[in-house]
Chains A and B, each alone.
Chain A
Amino acid sequence: MNMAPPEPNRLREGDRPERISPPCAVVIFGATGDLAHRKLLPALYNLAIERLLPAEFAVVGFGRRALTDEDYRAQMKESVTKFSRTKVRDEVWASFADGLSFVRGEPSDPASMASLKARLEQLDQARGTAGNRLYYLATPPSLFAPIIEALGAGGLDEGGRPESWARVIIEKPFGHDLASARELNRRVRAVFSEDQIYRIDHYLGKETVQNILAFRFANRLFEPVWSEQHINHVQITVAETLGVEDRGEYYEESGATRDMVQNHMLQLLSLVAMEPPVTFEAEPIRDEKIKVLRAIRPYRPEEVLQSTVRGQYANGFIGGREVGAYRSEPEVSSISTMETFVAMRLFIDNWRWARTPFFLRHGKRLPKRVTEIAIQFKRPPHLAFASADVERLEPNIMVFRIQPDEGISIRFGAKVPGPAMQIQSVSMDFLYGSSFLVQSPEAYERLILDSLVGDHTLFNRDDSVEQSWRIVDAIRSGWETAGAPLQMYESGTWGPESANALIEDPDSERRWRRP
């Protein structure tokens, strides 16, 4: 018998609808791993601090270690104290920890999954979690499919009650090439439907990334010039000063292209290049993004070498310290040929972007940590000023700074006060930190809350993941076929010299920015 839905809560009427989690139990697989310590528990704690979690909430860590509930609470308190953006308040922590518990087990063991199911049912009774389940797979990628299948086999693929729901958040990387991504999608979709699946890309949770959509589609000013008619080129830079640290084993299997281009950078590109969605809802936005990915011109094998550069960091200096080469990092082969730097030129074959190149650049051990999207406009068709007066005038540029110092800047020409008509470039900045009183939440807080309220907008759909892999696979396959050289670059520089040749074009005034 279908029960009538309850009346809306009248005490919420008139208020701007706030995104508040419904009652729910969150299960973290990989509960004692790095991601849980550094990001997930701090994010959940901060959602509690912001009053966005109800009393009817619980978190269950699932893992192999022999931990009691108290052990797990103590470990997580330590991590939250260390990694939370807000100070831990003992009284709030104590209340949050009341809902925190640990189930020991292995996904491959049916008895473990039965224990998990029993715990969740107990929480529904004791804490009112209402049968809603959110599973977070914070594990190595090789465990994604087995865990999903174990949830299905254990009857945990649906909510604990008829009117409740079950959702799963899957971390990146989602596969390591197109074939494995398709296979993973197949196995996941055999248990969960697409609307239950949340493939995370934490870049999409960043305020400035979301502001790209607000900027483009809430203002009439920019859309008329947002095309090949007015834009010279777009460059997207994700630069890191860190090396691979303790992720050598993982990085040897992935490399820069898989680690960063396949997910974050192609997502950023699609936000910049997409058409306006009909409504600001998940599916219309995701529909427009996939159209961009499908329109990216695939490289012919002979084009890969002219259109891409792959590099690897050697010894150097960063921040005044000497740093070692990639091949000297722990768990990295001394003869490794994995790329830690990639640059590429892409074209989007559609009416809006035909002939406008998009340059992507990512690397480790670069001089500065920065992520930005720069849109360089074409020069005016005719400058009526005397050439001396505009000698120092640079093209208009709009920059979205994703991190650090999130914000947007626009460079334009203005007259220098004085008797002469001298024009120079000036920049106008909007900085998030100085324009709004509210502290920006961490990306994981936003994304976890979105999955709790059922909003897919900032998560990747299956077709988008597969199309991104298609693009990356073509590049890697082209490298293999052509024997693409691995260019070494000194740590603390902006990558191999050949990356400059990829973009530089004196006629078109293109060069890599120094962010």
Chain B
Amino acid sequence: MTSQRGVASADWRASGTDTDAIEGELRRLMEAVNPPQRAVDARVPPRASVLTLLVHAASAESADRARELVGALKDHHPSRTVVIQQSHDPGAPGLDADVNVHCHVRPAGEGLICFEEVSLRVHGSTARHLAQLVSGLIVSDLPVVLWWPSDQPAHAEALLETCDRLIVDSAAFSKPEAELAFIAQNAGRLPEIYDLNWRRLAGWRHLIAQFFDPPDVRSFQSRIEQVEIEYVRDARTERGTAEPLLLAAWLSAREGWRLVDRTLGSDLKFEFAGPAGAIQVVLKGKTQQHLEAGTPLRLEIAAAGAHFRIVWSETVACAATQSEVPGVREIGHVTPLERPSAAELLGRAVELGPRDQGYPSVLRQTAALLA
């Protein structure tokens, strides 16, 4: 018995094809790699059992990148993925397809878990009929998740009605301010929006909230005077503002602060009016070549003489927190704070857990900060 997990895979490719042919090939390939068994008490060959993931890519590069990330889902999310890439040539309508079925041995060593991937290259006017195109490839009775791997693609509205959840990554937007503002303005007519970037910040949000969990420190929450967030800024493109903006929007939305003024220069500065007076929030970009743009590095909160600090260390992927509350205590701890990979975030996004009730208000506040 091998100690490595066995893998079976089969591919098919065609130009000028249609979805009936694609479905037929999927069935054929599935049987080829995972034939039904005839033994008594046989295991049924499992097929897509969790969801259909539609990847609507704005460019060939983002389609390639998406395919890499989707590959990481194979181990834990048996499903069907359809990657849609529109060619920008004005030529004849048509459809090219690559189909791959991948199966690997289950951890218990019996039977296979299978994963299907269909890549479509859509030509000419066929792009105007994306909804009809994919409807033949969606697995019935399962949720449909739509993912924009980068910016909003052309003909984006075509697939919005087919899906239960729209995954975006505001860190991947080339113009995050404009894209976030668009999503916020149209949130009412979009399906549930799942921003990988917002989820990327879950650890930071937890640590910030944790400062105010102890009842004897809670009252300082209403007396915040200053917040400073240091983050990695891309020196060439100025990208990276989406994460600190979301953090600032989250803090101000939860605390009920009203925007009074802002300065959007090399540092982003916001002035708010809160229950206890004025609050200044500063987002300071810092160039760090080897770190991903947007990575938060440090956060400090000053509140009526108390100070709360989080400093992130890339070397050990941990955050050191410190609370200094005069007359109460000074305490800190070190806690893991890995920067989740895009593959990890995507894996969680397709698990379709409960709706994030917190994101819509943060999105609205982000749009208000940038309006």
- CB within 8 Å of B: which residues of A? 5-7, 9-16, 18, 20, 22-23, 48-49, 51, 54-56, 89, 91-92, 94-96, 98, 125-128, 130, 163, 392, 394, 405, 407, 411, 414, 416-417, 424-429, 431, 433-437
CA of A435 to CA of B76, assembled, Å: 5
- CB within 8 Å of A: which residues of B? 36, 38, 40-44, 46, 50, 75-78, 106-108, 111, 113, 203, 205-210, 212-216, 218-219, 221, 250-251, 254-256, 313, 316, 318, 321, 323, 328-329, 331-336, 344, 347-348, 351, 353-354, 356-359, 361
Asked if A434 and B44 make an inter-chain contact with CB atoms under 8 angstroms apart, the answer reads: no
Asked if A92 and B36 make an inter-chain contact with CB atoms under 8 angstroms apart, the answer reads: no
CA of A414 to CA of B44, assembled, Å: 9
For A94, the closest partner residue in chain B by CB is: B334
Asked if B44 and A427 make an inter-chain contact with CB atoms under 8 angstroms apart, the answer reads: yes
Min distance, Cβ B87 to any Cβ of chain A, angstroms? 34
Asked if B40 and A429 make an inter-chain contact with CB atoms under 8 angstroms apart, the answer reads: no
Residue of A54, A96, A431 touching B214 (CB-CB under 8 A): A54
CA of A13 to CA of B250, assembled, Å: 10
CA of A79 to CA of B151, assembled, Å: 49
Asked if A9 and B218 make an inter-chain contact with CB atoms under 8 angstroms apart, the answer reads: yes
Residue of B78, B213, B328 touching A9 (CB-CB under 8 A): B213
Query: A18 contacts which chain B residues (CB < 8 A)?
Result: 206
Min distance, Cβ B112 to any Cβ of chain A, angstroms? 10
29 contacts between A and B (CB under 8 A): A9-B212, A9-B218, A11-B205, A11-B208, A11-B221, A11-B251, A13-B254, A15-B358, A16-B353, A16-B356, A20-B213, A22-B213, A23-B213, A23-B214, A54-B214, A55-B321, A91-B313, A92-B335, A95-B332, A128-B328, A130-B215, A163-B215, A394-B41, A424-B40, A426-B41, A428-B44, A428-B46, A434-B76, A435-B76
Query: A51 contacts which chain B residues (CB < 8 A)?
Result: 203, 206-207, 335-336
Query: B348 contacts which chain A residues (CB < 8 A)?
Result: 437
In the complex, given contacts A15-B205, A15-B357, A429-B43, what are 20 additional A-B residue pairs having Cβ atoms less than 8 angstroms apart?
A5-B215, A6-B215, A6-B219, A10-B255, A11-B255, A14-B357, A14-B361, A15-B209, A15-B356, A22-B213, A23-B214, A55-B332, A55-B333, A89-B316, A127-B329, A405-B107, A429-B111, A431-B108, A434-B75, A435-B50
For A86, the closest partner residue in chain B by CB is: B336
Residue of B38, B108, B214, B354 touching A130 (CB-CB under 8 A): B214
| Contact A55 B323, CB 8 Å, known A405-B108, A437-B351 | yes
Query: B209 contacts which chain A residues (CB < 8 A)?
Result: 9, 11-12, 15
Find the residue from B323, B329, B333 having the highest chain A CB count within 10 A: B333
CA of A7 to CA of B256, assembled, Å: 14
Asked if B203 and A91 make an inter-chain contact with CB atoms under 8 angstroms apart, the answer reads: no
Asked if B42 and A424 make an inter-chain contact with CB atoms under 8 angstroms apart, the answer reads: yes
CA of A433 to CA of B256, assembled, Å: 42
CA of A385 to CA of B82, assembled, Å: 41
Asked if A436 and B106 make an inter-chain contact with CB atoms under 8 angstroms apart, the answer reads: no
Residue of A128, A392, A417, A436 touching B329 (CB-CB under 8 A): A128
Min distance, Cβ B36 to any Cβ of chain A, angstroms? 7
Closest 3 pairs (CB-CB, A-B): A14-B358, A11-B209, A95-B334
Asked if A437 and B354 make an inter-chain contact with CB atoms under 8 angstroms apart, the answer reads: no
Query: B107 contacts which chain A residues (CB < 8 A)?
Result: 405, 431, 433-434
Min distance, Cβ A48 to any Cβ of chain B, angstroms? 7
Residue of B42, B113, B212, B313 touching A434 (CB-CB under 8 A): B113
For B36, the closest partner residue in chain A by CB is: A417
For B317, the closest partner residue in chain A by CB is: A89
Asked if B106 and A431 make an inter-chain contact with CB atoms under 8 angstroms apart, the answer reads: yes
For B106, the closest partner residue in chain A by CB is: A434
Asked if A125 and B208 make an inter-chain contact with CB atoms under 8 angstroms apart, the answer reads: no
CA of A18 to CA of B209, assembled, Å: 12
| Contact A91 B218, CB 8 Å, known A15-B358, A427-B41 | no
For A15, the closest partner residue in chain B by CB is: B358
Min distance, Cβ A16 to any Cβ of chain B, angstroms? 6
Asked if B214 and A56 make an inter-chain contact with CB atoms under 8 angstroms apart, the answer reads: yes
Asked if A128 and B331 make an inter-chain contact with CB atoms under 8 angstroms apart, the answer reads: yes
| Contact A14 B40, CB 8 Å, known A6-B218, A23-B214 | no
Min distance, Cβ A19 to any Cβ of chain B, angstroms? 12
Query: B316 contacts which chain A residues (CB < 8 A)?
Result: 89, 91
Asked if B44 and A95 make an inter-chain contact with CB atoms under 8 angstroms apart, the answer reads: no
Min distance, Cβ A51 to any Cβ of chain B, angstroms? 5
CA of A436 to CA of B41, assembled, Å: 26
Min distance, Cβ A103 to any Cβ of chain B, angstroms? 21
Residue of B44, B207, B321, B333 touching A98 (CB-CB under 8 A): B333
Residue of B215, B254, B331, B336 touching A11 (CB-CB under 8 A): B254
Min distance, Cβ A511 to any Cβ of chain B, angstroms? 14
CA of A93 to CA of B313, assembled, Å: 16
Asked if A10 and B351 make an inter-chain contact with CB atoms under 8 angstroms apart, the answer reads: no
Query: B318 contacts which chain A residues (CB < 8 A)?
Result: 89, 91-92
Residue of B40, B113, B216 touching A392 (CB-CB under 8 A): B40
Asked if B40 and A425 make an inter-chain contact with CB atoms under 8 angstroms apart, the answer reads: yes
Asked if A130 and B213 make an inter-chain contact with CB atoms under 8 angstroms apart, the answer reads: no
Query: B323 contacts which chain A residues (CB < 8 A)?
Result: 55
For B251, the closest partner residue in chain A by CB is: A11
CA of A274 to CA of B48, assembled, Å: 34
Asked if B111 and A437 make an inter-chain contact with CB atoms under 8 angstroms apart, the answer reads: no
CA of A416 to CA of B37, assembled, Å: 9
Query: A22 contacts which chain B residues (CB < 8 A)?
Result: 213-214
Find the residue from A392, A425, A437 having the highest chain B CB count within 10 A: A437
Min distance, Cβ B227 to any Cβ of chain A, angstroms? 12
Min distance, Cβ A407 to any Cβ of chain B, angstroms? 8
Residue of A6, A48, A127, A405 touching B331 (CB-CB under 8 A): A127
CA of A15 to CA of B215, assembled, Å: 19
Query: B332 contacts which chain A residues (CB < 8 A)?
Result: 55, 95
CA of A14 to CA of B207, assembled, Å: 16
For A55, the closest partner residue in chain B by CB is: B333
Asked if A427 and B43 make an inter-chain contact with CB atoms under 8 angstroms apart, the answer reads: yes
